[in-house]
Chains A and B, each alone.
Chain A
């Protein structure tokens, strides 16, 4: 009898330990980045371009570049993703075509980010002739986060009780108006959360923009969507691997990492908070 409870305690200790390990790794990583990075963060660091072959100065062009790329990706993925999801959950009869589209979207979600980069290079940069620029990068990132947005929107739409739709339709309201006035407002928080998580992902990706948008160094800030840009993740990669003064620029690297981590985790945390607030408010 005692053996049974001993086994149980041992097992519980083991699973607690592994959860603790996760906590520790995130905590340790964030602490390390913060302790090494916060001294680099000054007003100049955030508002100046890099100087002296990137051994001094700031990261303003990279911050702006990431901002443009992310917003561009969102402008591509949001309308396409939300409308596709509405079709899949509200309109489509659950038959073969829907099954194929769904498998397609699932597969799209599993495609490695570097393959998106190759596609962006082959299609946007070369075939359509956009060259390496904000437009190509934003389109590539947009396609990358499309499955995230479709998935989140579908979940949110499915969570709206069927009876709400039936009540609206029974009053003689058309299908589209039912979706527009009844379903979408209720699904909005879920869609929002998913989209914000998508923004976080787009802001942190490196491989898809390496061949489609990112520049090693640009002297000027981007003026049009056909300009190459610097971006935070790529800047980290470049400073850490390709610079001539890798050790001297360590503080700059940590500073850039801290800015990127702060940005991405801030975005994710915002989404998580919205979701938990909305869940508490939910009345059905």
Chain B
């Protein structure tokens, strides 16, 4: 084999591997549809998505996942309400305010926080947060929207914080210096110059944080309470989509309507997170700062 042939062979082999990675994504979609679509022989898409009754084991069964969708959206919304300010502000602290020596330590701590297994956080929510909520607010159960949102926030904060920090760090130094030269204080510089320049990166971080919260399974499975109904208060239990899938897949007989309905729920979940990720990808490419020449 000549040298050129060998080089071409290596290149093509590598290309094959890269394509396999893409193929896996394709296979995931394919198999979700293969196992999920049969449910639409039993129920229309409209009734599936917007039906209010999730009674998959009743006779006759009822496959409406609207309460599950609402559950997912509610816990994601409230966890973002907590995680976004904390994530963004801690990123500002690390990037702009913290002393040099503290920066690396804080970044490592955020990385460790991101690495905590979700089942551990769920466990914490169950044995510590739930009894506390139950006693403090005199509730029938501490497993509810508030609990799930707090724990999910803890999972989303590291994502938001670390990506926001990268965005803030990437703002050219000249911007800061120009602002100081005009007599602005550090606070004014951060609010009026640095954050606006890093805005697209910070938006991306928030979207990715929310995507993480909506797809997170163990936390909502363990602490959201599991009631498949539209909640009326913040202390009600909910059953977000991932919780429903994880809790019921073990019992759903293979090939049954229930089994297909859970895969179809997976399709909905997949596309929701896909949309979040595509928006994040679009925002980070579209509004990317390219050096000090462009603003």
Take A115-B270, A204-B119, A240-B127 as given contacts and tell me if A92 and B112 are in contact as well, using a CB distance cutoff of 8 Å: no
Do residues A265 and B116 form an inter-chain contact, with CB atoms below 8 A? yes
Q: Which of B67-93 contact A (CB under 8 A)?
A: 85-86, 89-90, 92-93
* Chain A residues, Cβ within 8 Å of B257: none
Is residue B198 within 8 Å, beta carbon to beta carbon, of the partner chain?
A: no
* Chain B residues, Cβ within 8 Å of A26: 109, 112-113, 116
Q: Which residue of A lies closest to B207 (CB)?
A: A110
Do residues A240 and B24 form an inter-chain contact, with CB atoms below 8 A? no
* Chain B residues, Cβ within 8 Å of A127: 31
* Chain A residues, Cβ within 8 Å of B191: 11
* Chain A residues, Cβ within 8 Å of B246: 114, 117, 207, 210
Q: Tell me which of A16, A116, A237 contacts B222 (CB under 8 A).
A: A237
Do residues B119 and A233 form an inter-chain contact, with CB atoms below 8 A? yes
Question: Which of these binds chain A: B2-10, B134-142, B170-178, B231-239?
Answer: B2-10
Is residue A86 within 8 Å, beta carbon to beta carbon, of the partner chain?
A: yes
Do residues B115 and A265 form an inter-chain contact, with CB atoms below 8 A? yes
Do residues B124 and A122 form an inter-chain contact, with CB atoms below 8 A? no
Take A117-B246, A150-B21 as given contacts and tell me if A264 and B187 are in contact as well, using a CB distance cutoff of 8 Å: no
Do residues A15 and B93 form an inter-chain contact, with CB atoms below 8 A? yes
* Chain B residues, Cβ within 8 Å of A115: 28, 32, 215, 266, 269-270, 273
Do residues A241 and B222 form an inter-chain contact, with CB atoms below 8 A? yes
Chain A CB count within 10 A is highest, among B14, B161, B186, B263, for B14
Alpha-carbon separation in the docked complex, A122 to B264 (Å): 12
Alpha-carbon separation in the docked complex, A115 to B272 (Å): 12
Q: Which residue of B lies closest to A17 (CB)?
A: B89
Min Cβ gap B102→A in Å is: 9
Do residues A240 and B123 form an inter-chain contact, with CB atoms below 8 A? yes
Q: Tell me which of B7, B10, B34, B118 contacts A204 (CB under 8 A).
A: B118
Do residues B245 and A114 form an inter-chain contact, with CB atoms below 8 A? yes
Min Cβ gap A230→B in Å is: 14
Alpha-carbon separation in the docked complex, A222 to B116 (Å): 27
Is residue B53 within 8 Å, beta carbon to beta carbon, of the partner chain?
A: no
Q: Which residue of A lies closest to B262 (CB)?
A: A118
Alpha-carbon separation in the docked complex, A264 to B278 (Å): 30
Question: Count the B residues whose beta carbon is within 8 Å of the partner chain — how many?
Answer: 87
Do residues B215 and A19 form an inter-chain contact, with CB atoms below 8 A? no
Alpha-carbon separation in the docked complex, A18 to B28 (Å): 38
Is residue A4 within 8 Å, beta carbon to beta carbon, of the partner chain?
A: yes
* Chain B residues, Cβ within 8 Å of A107: 25, 274, 277-278
Alpha-carbon separation in the docked complex, A203 to B120 (Å): 12
Q: Tell me which of B11, B218, B254, B269 contacts A206 (CB under 8 A).
A: B218
Take A4-B185, A111-B270 as given contacts and tell me if A15 and B90 are in contact as well, using a CB distance cutoff of 8 Å: yes
* Chain B residues, Cβ within 8 Å of A233: 117, 119, 218
Binary CB contact string for chain B from 29 to 61 against chain A (1 if under 8 A, 0 otherwise) = 001101100000000000000000000000000
Interface residues on A, range: 35 or more
Do residues B118 and A80 form an inter-chain contact, with CB atoms below 8 A? no
Do residues B250 and A210 form an inter-chain contact, with CB atoms below 8 A? yes
Do residues A204 and B106 form an inter-chain contact, with CB atoms below 8 A? no
Do residues A22 and B113 form an inter-chain contact, with CB atoms below 8 A? yes
Q: Which residue of A lies closest to B218 (CB)?
A: A206
Do residues A253 and B27 form an inter-chain contact, with CB atoms below 8 A? no
Is residue A174 within 8 Å, beta carbon to beta carbon, of the partner chain?
A: yes
Is residue A103 within 8 Å, beta carbon to beta carbon, of the partner chain?
A: yes
Do residues B115 and A206 form an inter-chain contact, with CB atoms below 8 A? no
Do residues B11 and A91 form an inter-chain contact, with CB atoms below 8 A? yes
Min Cβ gap B127→A in Å is: 7
Q: Tell me which of A4, A87, A241, A265 contacts B112 (CB under 8 A).
A: A265
Binary CB contact string for chain A from 109 to 151 against chain B (1 if under 8 A, 0 otherwise) = 1111111111101110011000000000000000100100010
Do residues B273 and A18 form an inter-chain contact, with CB atoms below 8 A? no
Alpha-carbon separation in the docked complex, A87 to B123 (Å): 41
Q: Tell me which of A15, A84, A91, A117 contacts B20 (CB under 8 A).
A: A84
Do residues B27 and A276 form an inter-chain contact, with CB atoms below 8 A? no
Chain A CB count within 10 A is highest, among B17, B126, B276, for B17
Do residues A8 and B277 form an inter-chain contact, with CB atoms below 8 A? no
Q: Which of B146-171 contact A (CB under 8 A)?
A: 154, 157, 161
Is residue A277 within 8 Å, beta carbon to beta carbon, of the partner chain?
A: no
Alpha-carbon separation in the docked complex, A21 to B242 (Å): 28
Alpha-carbon separation in the docked complex, A115 to B28 (Å): 8
Q: Which residue of B lies closest to A179 (CB)?
A: B10
Q: Tell me which of B14, B92, B116 contacts A264 (CB under 8 A).
A: B116
Is residue B101 within 8 Å, beta carbon to beta carbon, of the partner chain?
A: no
Do residues A23 and B18 form an inter-chain contact, with CB atoms below 8 A? no
Alpha-carbon separation in the docked complex, A65 to B109 (Å): 28
Given contacts A29-B120, A206-B218, 20 further A-B contacts (CB under 8 A): A18-B89, A19-B94, A22-B110, A26-B109, A29-B124, A32-B128, A80-B20, A103-B278, A103-B281, A111-B28, A112-B270, A114-B246, A114-B269, A118-B263, A119-B31, A122-B31, A143-B24, A204-B117, A210-B249, A257-B120
Give 5 nearest A-B pairs by CB, closest first.
A112-B215, A204-B117, A8-B187, A110-B277, A87-B14
